[in-house]
Structure 1
């Protein structure tokens, strides 16, 4: 398995865990609201239900965003070797390794720190379309692209 495939799988697993966690939290709130509705009445009860409903809406919005991220990630073919920086590229620079996909936390695989970022991010835009051995600048810092997968 290539490093690019390992990176792809790691981020895919992270998103699946996030989706699972959000769905469980939404379900727990729904059950709490149903249990609360059975045995309570009055202003405190109404306030508690309203707070649970707001939390459910917030979690539902987060879930929708994570599912959208997962859809973007799943549109990437992790076996394709790119020659230009674009969606799905694993870009080795003289400073970092970047996975052009979606904005996600930095991970470490095979003793490599990998930063996942969106092609629409300022750094992604600076790299977009570049090829191996090209340089680009971002925030007064020069980067050299060593290799692209």
Structure 2
């Protein structure tokens, strides 16, 4: 097992999260642009019901992409407020937490990530484990899923 440079690992996780969210926003924008083109090119046919059904489906997809864009923009905003160079002494946004079960980056709920060939989890403080960890520090014990979990370190 190799030794991890935790401050560098934390920066790498933050960069990975920002890049991933940026890519998601780009894909959503392309999909919305494509839908707008389809909407403009949708022509009224003699089969009026077919036209209306097509327009309704486009409208539903547009609403879905707009909702995804809003949710992804919130995640981006959460990540942009983090200073990845800040050394955290307690669990707050931007902290890298070491638990017996693995590494947890407190920022935005993005789930399991693999950064520098190391598994970690990007979570928000509003998640169940985030709520249990909030404001705790190295050596504290939390109760999560009816188990006591010791916080091994915070960076």
The answer to whether TM tops 0.5 is yes
2:21 is equivalent to residue 15 of structure 1: yes
Q: In the aligned structure 2, how far is the partner of 1:53 from the partner of 1:95?
A: 44
| 2:78 maps to which of 39, 47, 72 | 72
Question: Match of 1:143, SS?
Answer: strand
Question: Match of 1:29, SS?
Answer: helix
Q: In the aligned structure 2, how far is the partner of 1:96 from the partner of 1:76?
A: 21
Q: Normalising to structure 2: TM-score of the pair?
A: 0.90
Q: In the aligned structure 1, how far is the partner of 2:63 from the partner of 2:101?
A: 40
2:95 is equivalent to residue 89 of structure 1: yes
Alignment of 1:13-52 (within 5 A): 13-37=19-43, 40-41=45-46, 42-52=48-58
Q: Which residue of 1 aligns with 2:128?
A: 122
> Is there any run of 5+ residues in structure 1 with no aligned partner, and where?
none
CA-based RMSD of the aligned residues comes to 1.4
Q: In the aligned structure 1, how far is the partner of 2:139 from the partner of 2:116?
A: 23
> Is there any run of 5+ residues in structure 2 with no aligned partner, and where?
1-6
Question: Match of 2:151, SS?
Answer: strand
Q: CA deviation at 1:63?
A: 0.5
Q: In the aligned structure 1, how far is the partner of 2:63 from the partner of 2:86?
A: 38
Q: CA deviation at 1:141?
A: 2.3
Q: Normalising to structure 1: TM-score of the pair?
A: 0.93
Q: Which residue of 2 aligns with 1:146?
A: 152
Q: In the aligned structure 2, how far is the partner of 1:45 from the partner of 1:5?
A: 50
Question: Match of 1:2, SS?
Answer: helix
Question: Match of 1:142, SS?
Answer: strand
Question: Match of 1:5, SS?
Answer: helix
Q: Which residue of 2 aligns with 1:59?
A: 65
Q: How many residues align?
A: 148
Question: Match of 2:38, SS?
Answer: helix
